Amino acid sequence: MTIKHESQKIAQNFYTFAVILFLVQIVVGIIAALQFIWPDFFILNFNTIKTLHINALIVWLLTGLMGATYYVIPEESETELWSVPLARLQFWATVVAITAVVLGYIWAGLNPQANKLVFGTLMLNEGRKYIEAPRWADNLIVISVLLFLFNCFMTVLKTKKWTGIQGVLLGGLTFLALMYIPGMFYTKSMVKDQFWWWWVVHLWVEGAWEIIAGALLAFMLMKVIGAKREVLEKWMYIEVGLVMFTGILGTGHHYYWIGTPAYWLWIGGIFSSLEPIPLLVMVWDAFRTTREARAVTNKAGLYYTVAHAIFNFVGAGLWGVIHTLPQVNRWTHGTQITTAHGHLAFYGAYVLLVMSMIYVTLPAIRGVKEFDPSRAFQAFWWMTISMIFIVLTTTGAGMVQTYMERLMGLDYVTVKASYNLWFWIVRAIFGVGFLIGVLIFVVDYFKLGKEPVRVIKAAPERA
Amino acid sequence: MSNKGARNLFIVGSLFFFAIFLALSFDTIGKLDKRAPEITEDVNAGKMVWHKYDCIGCHTIFGTGSYFAPDMTKVSERRPKEYLKQFMMDPKSVKPNAAMPKLGISSEEADHLIAFFDWISKVDTNGWPPKPILATAAGVNSRELSAGQKVYQSLGCSNCHTISGIGGTAGPELTHVGNKRDRAWLIGHFKNPDDYVPHSAMPKVKAPDADIEQLAEYMLTLK
């Protein structure tokens, strides 16, 4: 496994930053889990910890996807990246901007009065979930993403080899960049605020990101198994097509109860119920292709790729569809069932996606012929089993909450502090289990290709 | 289907569904202002306070947010304003075991937030949150409610107080209140809580004397 173009190595900068932020995300996640049991547990309040938890997630996934794209584009275009210095500049600009934003969150968390209103925007934290980053940071992020896209498109234009994979990948990334804009202006109405906010959040994770996932799935199956591009690209178009046909109007399942007209109950209910279909096609696609596999050298890469397809369907698809109908959602909306869905969806659809891209491309970047996948497997099972229990405990908590608070009329605080306490304790324990998996992965990431391959000696013959 | 056909279907289909989505969004945006009261300066200032303290980092509003603290959609209907203001400015002074920290919300900011929550509670949300089935079912098992129980329900006391597990936790639990208080204390306290509990966040019960007496009778049965 070696790279064909020297400039593909830039991917590693992004991967490293992503892996470090992943670790940060899980550590603050455990603090947040403990705050469900002891709200005063840490110097920073839950809102700041949670902001760090989900922002670290989004940023590490995005930088991971950027790195992956910088790897894919030269490979598909069969040429060097248009400008490596520009990619490097864009990388460091991103690191500096993100660090400044994080320090701002912590500052605002320690002293909310420092979060001042200047020219109509809050300077440290905009107080809008996922897109808390202040306006000045939004602008920096937009510049960074535009530089990134410019660099990629210029590379493609060098050889004009518009392969299906890179076309869909760059299309998804452009859609992603465009859908950041609806979250960048202030509205006096909280209803309009949430209306536009869902354009960003939903059309990212159930639109643009799934398109990127479809393209990268095809790329990985091609690289790891050597499957035929023709067939892979055709199914990729069908998958991402179905993602868009169901997902765009599926946005309606967020417009049931926020003050928007009632016709969204129908539109959202029908289209979002169909959203698992493309994800199921991806699973079938991965299985069909894998069956053809003869000699696979990158076992870890294959393992993560298939796992990504499966858990994308289970987390984003199944755990979403169980509460997407308005008749059900009326009772479950805003409960821990949403938390459970959020965790399994992000893990299956995007955490495993970026990790599989790392395992598929990193050996080539480091020039490794063969590597021992045992740590990759260990990390996978620690993380996956822990995540399943995190999801089951929060689903259980959500069912108890739906029944006791929504149906019986018990107080939110009573249900959370008494009846669901056991779930919080078990969830925190499995949070530590997940951290163990991440630590194994981090060690594997930094050591991969840098230690001699263990030669398995034949067992000595018995006398 | 050829690759080119699949690609074209993806592109044209996506644009088609996006066009429908844009048209529906345009229609929705035009209807939103009619589904909510007018936004005053105070409401807008309150929204900014909501953002400044990153309230959504713990709470939810319209059911969207962080699931760590109660939903705020109907809070201004379910809690007296005096209580809300005192709680926002110093949560533990009203409710010693409150999980919410003292964030430094000023008196003016609290008033703005209340105006904001008032606006939120009047938005047409297609009936969300639904009323709990069991708590609203009066006379379950053909059991008649006593006059005092009816007063208790009509005044919305259970928004803040709990009896046998049902109700809010903003005020003290009342399951065994009959053991602790006598008739005179209860009636006097209903008429002016501050005289009996210094700095009480409970509003005066504004009801005819007959109702207040019935309510006290009901309280005395809770043992």
Instruction: Write down the pLDDT at residue B133.
Output: 79
| Mean pLDDT, residues A197-214 | 96
DSSP conformational letter for A275: T
A182 in B contact zone (CB under 8 Å): no
Binned at pLDDT 50, 70 and 90, residue A460 comes out as low
How far apart (Å, rounded) are the C-alpha atoms in residues B222 and A175?
62
Instruction: Give domain status of residue A34, yes or no.
Output: yes
* Host domain of residue A86: 1-162
Q: Provide the token pair at A336.
A: 């821990």
A229 in B contact zone (CB under 8 Å): no
A48 and B13 in contact by Cβ < 8 A? no
Q: Is the CATH number 1.10.10.10 carried by domain B41-121?
A: no
Q: How many CA atoms lie within 13 A of B138 on its CB side?
A: 10
CA distances to A1, A218, A306, A356 from A228, rounded to whole Å, are: 19, 10, 17, 20
Given a cut of 50, whether residue B196 has pLDDT beyond it is: yes
**How far apart are the CA of B96 and the nearest CA of chain A, in angstroms?**
13
A192 and B29 in contact by Cβ < 8 A? yes
Instruction: Give domain status of residue A76, yes or no.
Output: yes
Instruction: Write down the pLDDT at residue B156.
Output: 85
Q: By the 8 A CB rule, do B166 and B211 touch?
A: no
Given a cut of 90, whether residue B160 has pLDDT beyond it is: no
Name the CA dihedral angle for B28, B31, B33, B35, rounded to a multiple of 10 degrees: -100
10 Å CB burial of residue A402 (0-12, 13-18, 19+) is: buried
A46 in B contact zone (CB under 8 Å): yes
How far apart (Å, rounded) are the C-alpha atoms in residues A267 and A72?
37
Residue of A nearest to B49 (CA): A127
Given a cut of 60, whether residue B142 has pLDDT beyond it is: no
10 Å CB burial of residue A329 (0-12, 13-18, 19+) is: buried
Instruction: Give domain status of residue A116, yes or no.
Output: yes
Please indicate whether residue B150 or residue A183 has the higher confidence score (pLDDT): A183
Instruction: Write down the pLDDT at residue B135.
Output: 62
- Residues with Cβ within 8 Å of A316's Cβ and at least 6 positions away in sequence, in order, are A205, A206, A210, A275, A276, A279, A344, A345, A348, A349
Which of A186, A246, A406, A411 to mutate: most B Cβ within 10 Å?
Answer: A411
The three-class DSSP label of residue A455 is coil
**φ and ψ of B128, to 5 deg:** -100, 145
Q: Provide the token pair at B94.
A: 């009203």
- Residues with Cβ within 8 Å of A119's Cβ and at least 6 positions away in sequence, in order, are none
A260 and B32 in contact by Cβ < 8 A? yes
CA A149 to chain CA centroid, Å, is 19
Name the CA dihedral angle for A321, A322, A324, A328, rounded to a multiple of 10 degrees: 160
Instruction: Give domain status of residue A372, yes or no.
Output: no
Percent of chain A scoring above 90 in pLDDT: 92
Residues of B in contact with A259 (CB under 8 A): 32, 35-36, 62, 123-125
Nearest CB to A257: which of B36, B63, B132? B63
Q: What is the pLDDT of residues A152-194, one digit of tens each?
A: 999 999 999 999 999 999 999 999 999 999 999 999 999 999 9
Instruction: Give domain status of residue A179, yes or no.
Output: no
CA distances to A49, A181, A191, A220, A323 from A131, rounded to whole Å, are: 15, 11, 16, 30, 24
Strand A117-118 versus strand A121-122 pairing type = antiparallel
Q: Provide the token pair at A375.
A: 């740590």
Instruction: Give domain status of residue A133, yes or no.
Output: yes
A414 and B29 in contact by Cβ < 8 A? no
A244 and B132 in contact by Cβ < 8 A? no
How far apart (Å, rounded) are the C-alpha atoms in residues A150 and A261?
39
Q: By the 8 A CB rule, do A328 and A322 touch?
A: yes
* Terminal Cα distance for chain B, rounded: 76
How far apart (Å, rounded) are the C-alpha atoms in residues B170 and B157?
11
Q: What is the pLDDT of residues B76-132, one digit of tens each?
A: 998 889 899 999 999 999 888 899 999 999 999 999 999 999 999 999 999 999 988
CA A405 to chain CA centroid, Å, is 31
Return the exposure string of A85-123: e unless at least 16 CB atoms fall within 10 Å of the residue's CB, then b. Answer: ebbeebbeebbebbeebbebbbbbbeebeebeeeeebbb
Q: What is the largest CA-CA distance in chain B?
A: 87
Residue of A nearest to B164 (CA): A410
Q: What kind of fold does domain B145-221 have according to CATH?
A: Cytochrome Bc1 Complex; Chain D, domain 2 (1.10.760)
**How far apart are the CA of B101 and the nearest CA of chain A, in angstroms?**
8
The number of helices, as runs of H, and strands, as runs of E, in chain B is 12, 4
Residues in chain B: 223
Instruction: Write down the pLDDT at residue B131.
Output: 86
Instruction: Give domain status of residue A364, yes or no.
Output: no
Q: What is the pLDDT of residues A269-280, one digit of tens each?
A: 999 999 999 999
Q: Which long-range CB contacts under 8 A does A145-151 form with residues at least 24 apart?
A: A145/A176, A145/A177, A145/A180, A146/A177, A147/A86, A147/A89, A147/A90, A147/A93, A148/A66, A148/A69, A148/A87, A148/A90, A148/A173, A149/A173, A149/A174, A149/A177, A150/A86, A151/A81, A151/A82, A151/A83, A151/A86, A151/A87, A151/A90
CA distances to A213, A275, A369, A426, B52 from A340, rounded to whole Å, are: 21, 18, 39, 14, 28
A234 in B contact zone (CB under 8 Å): yes
Instruction: Give domain status of residue A41, yes or no.
Output: yes
Binned at pLDDT 50, 70 and 90, residue B11 comes out as very high
Residues of A in contact with B157 (CB under 8 A): none
Percent of chain B scoring above 70 in pLDDT: 96
Instruction: Write down the pLDDT at residue B139.
Output: 47
CB pairs under 8 A between A and B: 220
B125 and A259 in contact by Cβ < 8 A? yes
Q: What is the pLDDT of residues A93-125, one digit of tens each?
A: 999 999 999 999 999 999 999 999 998 899 999
**How far apart are the CA of B75 and the nearest CA of chain A, in angstroms?**
12
Please indicate whether residue A2 or residue B100 has the higher confidence score (pLDDT): B100
User: Which sequence spans correspond to the domains of chain B?
Assistant: 41-121, 145-221
Domains in chain A, number: 1
Given a cut of 90, whether residue A459 has pLDDT beyond it is: no
ipTM: 0.94
Binned at pLDDT 50, 70 and 90, residue B158 comes out as confident
